[in-house]
Amino acid sequence: MKQNYKLLISYDGTRYHGWEAKPDTDMTIEGKIETVLARMMDEPVNITGAGRTDAGVHAKGMTANVHLDTEKTETEIRDYLNRYLPEDICVREVKIASDRFHARYNAVGKTYCYTCYSGPLKPVFNRRYVHVLERQPDVEQMRKAADHLIGTHDFASFCGNPKMKKSTVRTLTSIEIAHSGSYLTFTYQGDGFLRYMVRILTGTLLEVGYGKRSPESMVPLLEAKKRSEAGYLMPPEGLCLLKVHY
């Protein structure tokens, strides 16, 4: 009898073309996991992720679900996956879920973190997971700007999909900007995120930190609903999906 399994997954997205399986490449996270599950089940398997991460983006806590008819225990499924998956993908947990659990539709929010580095030396061992800044921005100014972005707004100005037909209204419950040593982190929690939204938000906040925009300019920027009005699209390597909330 088929059962619904909930998977908690971590991955280094550096060499992958994002989460979503694509017909023209086998280098996606979803595609790699489906290939191993198909080998285990000896039949095609489709999994459902909580969302999509773009090429080069990482995750510590991506969630997915899959229906399987197997006698293997949860631990055996996890261990089988980790035995055959590439070293940069790890299934941290496999648990039986209710039949109605859906990784995407049941999610009520996500937490992302974008990490920057502004130290004097090259971050040799963290270079795949940070964006290197030329200088340290003004953290307090960025925090003031972030205050204007928290809440329910139309984030069309921060959407990287020009053909977006669905609503671009989202709710950001918190934006935390922390500076520790040479590292600067932007942690966003919200009910959902548009394509490139976190990377555009971070690029815009950094422009505030460098004095190119004022914190108060976030208000007319939201009202403009134009991508061209917002800031720089940050590279993918600094972005990590920390958690999907249910």
The answer to whether domain 3-97 has CATH 3.30.70.580 is yes
CB neighbourhood size of 166 (10 A): 7
Q: What is the pLDDT of residues 164-215, one digit of tens each?
A: 889 999 999 999 999 999 999 999 999 999 999 999 999 999 999 999 999 9
Q: What local confidence, expressed as pLDDT, does residue 85 receive? A: 98
The reported pLDDT for the residue numbered 163 is 82
> Which distant-in-sequence residues (6+ apart) come within 8 Å of 88 by Cβ?
11, 12, 14, 15
Question: What's residue 75's pLDDT?
Answer: 98
- What is residue 32's predicted lDDT score, i.e. its pLDDT? 98
Q: Sign of dihedral through CA atoms 65, 106, 164, 56?
A: negative
Determine the pLDDT at residue 1.
87
**CA separation for the pair 229, 241 (Å, rounded):** 26
Asked if the 109-245 domain carries CATH number 3.30.70.660, the reply is yes
**Domain locations in the chain?**
3-97, 109-245
Return the closest-CA partner of residue 37 out of 70, 73, 2. Answer: 70
So what's the pLDDT on residue 155? 98
Phi, psi of 3 (to 5 degrees): -125, 155
Q: What is the pLDDT of residues 138-153, one digit of tens each?
A: 999 999 999 999 999 9
What does the buried/exposed string (b/e) look like for 140-155 if buried means 16 or more CB atoms within 10 Å of the residue's CB? ebbbebbebbeeebeb
**Which amino acid does the sequence have at 27?**
M
DSSP 3-state percent helix, strand, coil across the chain (nearest 5): 25, 30, 40
User: Are 123 and 144 a contacting pair, CB within 8 Å?
Assistant: no
b/e map 193-211, b = 16+ CB within 10 Å:
bbebbbbbbbbbbbbbbbe
Active-site entry in 26, 42, 54, 88: 54
- Rounded average pLDDT per 10-residue block, the chain, 246 residues: 96 97 93 98 97 96 98 98 98 97 98 96 95 96 98 97 90 98 97 97 98 98 96 97 98
Q: What residues have CB less than 8 Å from 49, skipping those under 6 apart?
A: 19, 20, 30, 62, 63, 64, 103, 104
54 assigned to active site = yes
DSSP single-letter state for residue 217: G
